[in-house]
Structure 1
Amino acid sequence: MTITGIERLDEQTQLDKIEGNVALLCHSASVDRNFKHSVEILNSFIGNRLKKIFGPQHGFVTDVQDNMIETKDFIHPYFKIPVHSLYGETRIPTDEMLEGIDTLVVDLQDVGTRVYTYISTLTLAMEKCAQLGVKVVVLDRPNPVGGLNIEGTILEEKFKSFVGRFEMPQRHAMTMGEVGHFAKKNFNIDVAYDVIEMKHWQRSMNWHDCKLPWLNPSPNLPTPEGALTFVGTVLFEGTKLSEGRGTTRSLEVVGHPSIEPFSFLEKINKNIGPIEGAIFRPCTFHPMFQKHAGTTCGGVHIHVTNWNTFKSWTASQLLCREFYAHLGDEFQWQDAAYEYEYDKLAIDLINGTEKVKHWVESNGSLDDLQRIESTGMDLYFSRRDNALLYC
């Protein structure tokens, strides 16, 4: 049974790492195994030294559905302390927000994917804290998709954004605490930094192995399996297909109003063959909001059958290639602004390169995709090795 960082604050040697006046960056999934929130837990140990709360994208209470929907600062009606949004007028803590703070404690449930913005929020906060002499302490949590399997293209310099700040692949196989070490050691963030490590977490573990409760880390990830499919299906945010937002199984289903699912699956089976570790099931779904709201879509539901062997990123790129070929002129790349980037396509920001989009459009082979994926991977492995905390 994995013991998270927040659950180790009853150890004095760990609590001593949290010095002076404190701010806590957290969200609704910041709970212990008994569902007690980290604000309550930290407050019980340090009392009035807890001065401020910060919330990431989707808000401190994790109620905001879509990207680029901002949250505001407020005074918490129960805890009676300020809650500052790091997804509002700013995504970087201001001098005023950190005034009087000695330690920023970070307790966020990440999902192990580069584009998931909590690691960007962490590293932007680390850079600001370095300027102001504020210590950063991460209360570590499991990477729900494990710490071994690595997938996806390495982010290229020209596609750096809030959904990708450093040269890392889509599925990076690090915990939040390790990502902080990765950024500090490899990208010169000179901040006082510490991690309250987990006990009994190993790199080979998936979420179910940890025996921890699953709370949505963001509104559209209702299941642990969704965190694994998200590694790949997030790419469909870069298209005008529905990735299931507005349904009960968002980011596990993908489709379009013009798709007849059974005939489409026949093409998938012919062109791709069986997907190791998962089954594509033909399905229809009816989004209640976001893309194709109020319209029935046909497509596939991705059912994970083996967490250790399923390569979500590869499977979703192959699926995107099949949607592109099947829909023809009805297939469109998303051309709206994406995470405050207005001059680049969302698909290229998500993939961290434009090479994968060109691969889809040219009906490229699996071998071609794997060659694209391997570019820069050796450097990433060497940088990551220096940041790992767990075996």
Structure 2
Amino acid sequence: MWKSIASNALTFLVVAVFLLGGALIWAQNTYSDEGPLAEAICLDVPRGSNMSLVSENLAEQGAVSSPMLFRLGAEYSDKTQDLKAGSFLVPERASMAEIVDIVTRGGASTCGTEIIYRIGVNAAEVEVRELDPATGRFVEVVEFDPAADAALPEDYVSRRDDADTRFRVALAEGVTSWQVVEELKSVDVLEGEVEVPVEGSLAPDSYEIARGDSRAELIGRMQRAQEVILAEAWENRADELPLETPEEALILASIVEKETGVAEERPQVASVFVNRLRRGMRLQTDPTVIYGITEGQGVLGRGIRQSELRAATPYNTYVIEGLPPTPIANPGRLSIEAALNPAETPYVFFVADGTGGHAFAETLEEHNRNVARWREIEAERAQQQN
């Protein structure tokens, strides 16, 4: 009898172990395999939430087949306490393991509403946009000029005050430090006063910010980024450049930045100025003259007068020798790299060619022909407008 009981118990134990093993394999496969989500969704994880609430939300939206298995998988992988608040894009067919990784890895939210404060050379704008999870593309909600609009759009105010909204400041290449500080004053999610930093010291880029961040700290981030870019470019500079210091390289880069918006021709533009410096020729560039007039405080808004071209000022490169005393804008990485690794060309002249780029020349005779052609293009355009 005891032998029979023992035999039955052993059989039961073997079956139980077999079933448990099978259940574990099934659970592991289900946790790692493709999920049931037919279309991507934005998953909101409020502050103070937990894996239980998240799992139920996912189940309601058809993203997981078993809320309990989702929670057990997060617990088993030791990620339950790493849950982050935010709005996250969950792609179609995402597995439970992938979703757990998405909501626990940290970093910026990947879904929902984003407000971008764009600081441009000629104007600033605020854009409110939302990610469409079905297409993975942002859809613009509203865009406005904070200086021109007397009242803030309701679409902006409501989303600005939403706890899950993300914010960015996007700095265009070629803006001046004065322009940056002036526009940051209107970014109403930032706090504190800030002085105008040294010209050229800010790296044009897109910066994530949070509500309540300090304007001074944001400026500090921009300065540290520019220091890194300049140091790397200086370390990898070409041999025998007519530049003695990284500061001189930054001045030249700012001139290159203001002379062309065509990325691929920046090394050629830089080569013209480097060739002129090597030959002891004056740089003769309008953007430096304009900076001397405006001091970087906005755009000139008119042509340069002949009297201004003849005036002996520190920024009038038609009169002074060599570089002006400071940068004339905040140059981007490409212009800094171009200034320190210019193309090898014989060019010492360039003029606009009507396409957005420039026509380059080695001799004054060739340059004069290019200038004549540009004058013809200007006359044709003026006639078309009349």
* TM-score, with structure 1 as normaliser: 0.31
Higher RCO (CA 8 Å, separation ≥ 6 residues): 1
* TM-score, with structure 2 as normaliser: 0.31
Q: Whose Rg is larger? A: 2
When you count helix as a share of all residues, which structure comes out higher?
2
